[in-house]
């Protein structure tokens, strides 16, 4: 549930604010908290929007794999907003929602292929500080995906780290987007 952000949300003003509010409500039903927080610095907001639009045009890597990778990063970093948004977007984009639901417990779940597991392991390895990516991990993904898709996946995971870490630093939590469209609750990893 949306909580107390560390930087107060700004009012989206002016013509640009009206456009952003309208588009946000059309896409999500409400203005996402990260947008309202970053509204304080339009250059950062425009950079984020621009980067997102450009990355959305990438087409060398399977969208399900990128979605699972993003959600694996969000789970590891602890970004409830990104995890919920990833699940919601998987639903809206016609991706495999049953698998997306299981990402928080991907190691325990039996729904993922070996390739999907390798992608989520790679996403987590990139997210650790310092990164834990191995030559073997990269070689398996290069063999399975090819260079163009692996480059795209790697850049996508990097962007996922940018958004998840930014949102957690701001104190932004889930806005329950997935619940609003009646998706089953996300699976939870068992505490081992």
- Give 20-61 pLDDT, tens digit per residue: 999 999 999 999 999 999 999 999 999 999 999 999 999 999
Could you tell me if 41 and 125 lie in one domain? no
Please tell me the number of Cα atoms within 13 Å of 31 on its side-chain side.
18
Could you tell me if 86 and 36 lie in one domain? no
Start-end of H helices in the chain: 14-28, 33-38, 42-56, 63-77, 80-92, 97-102, 114-127, 135-145, 147-170, 177-180
76 falls within a domain: yes
SS3 41: coil
Here the CATH number for the domain that contains residue 121 is 1.20.1290.10
Nearest to 88 by CA among 170, 137, 80, 106: 80
Residue 142: pLDDT above 80?
yes
Ranking 20-29, 45-54, 157-166, 178-187 by mean pLDDT, the lowest is 178-187
Could you tell me if 69 and 117 lie in one domain? yes
Q: Measure the N-to-C terminal CA separation of the chain; round to a whole number of Å.
A: 25
| Contact between 69 and 119 (Cβ < 8 Å) | yes
pLDDT in tens, 69-105: 999 999 999 999 999 999 899 988 989 999 999 999 9
Helix axes 147-170, 114-127, angle to 10 degrees: 50
Length in residues, the chain = 192
Could you tell me if 52 and 65 lie in one domain? no
pLDDT attached to residue 3: 57
Could you tell me if 171 and 102 lie in one domain? yes
Could you tell me if 104 and 148 lie in one domain? yes
- Which pair of tokens denotes residue 134? 């191995």
43 falls within a domain: yes
- Number of structural domains (the chain) is 2
Could you tell me if 135 and 168 lie in one domain? yes
Could you tell me if 87 and 174 lie in one domain? yes
pLDDT category, 191, cuts 50, 70, 90?
Answer: low
Domain of 35, in residue numbers: 13-57
Average pLDDT over residues 128-152: 98
pLDDT cut 70: percent of the chain above it? 97
Q: How far apart are CA 127 and CA 27, in angstroms?
A: 28
């Amino acid at each position: 549930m949306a909580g107390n952000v560390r930087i107060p949300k700004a009012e989206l003003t002016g013509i640009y604010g009206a456009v952003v509010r309208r588009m946000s409500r059309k896409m999500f039903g409400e203005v996402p908290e990260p947008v309202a927080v970053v509204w304080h610095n339009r250059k950062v907001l425009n950079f984020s929007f621009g980067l997102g639009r450009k990355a959305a045009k990438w087409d060398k890597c399977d969208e399900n794999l990128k979605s699972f990778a993003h959600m694996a990063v969000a789970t590891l970093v602890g970004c409830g907003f990104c995890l919920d948004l990833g699940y919601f977007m998987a639903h809206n984009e016609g991706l495999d929602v049953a698998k997306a639901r299981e990402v928080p417990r991907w190691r325990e779940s039996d729904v993922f292929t070996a390739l999907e597991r390798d992608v989520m392991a790679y996403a987590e390895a990139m997210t650790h500080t310092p990164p834990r990516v191995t030559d073997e991990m990269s070689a398996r993904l290069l063999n399975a995906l090819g260079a163009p898709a692996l480059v795209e996946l790697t850049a996508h995971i990097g962007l996922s780290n940018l958004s998840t870490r930014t949102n957690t630093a701001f104190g932004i939590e889930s806005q329950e987007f997935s619940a609003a469209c009646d998706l089953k609750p996300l699976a939870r990893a068992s505490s081992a």
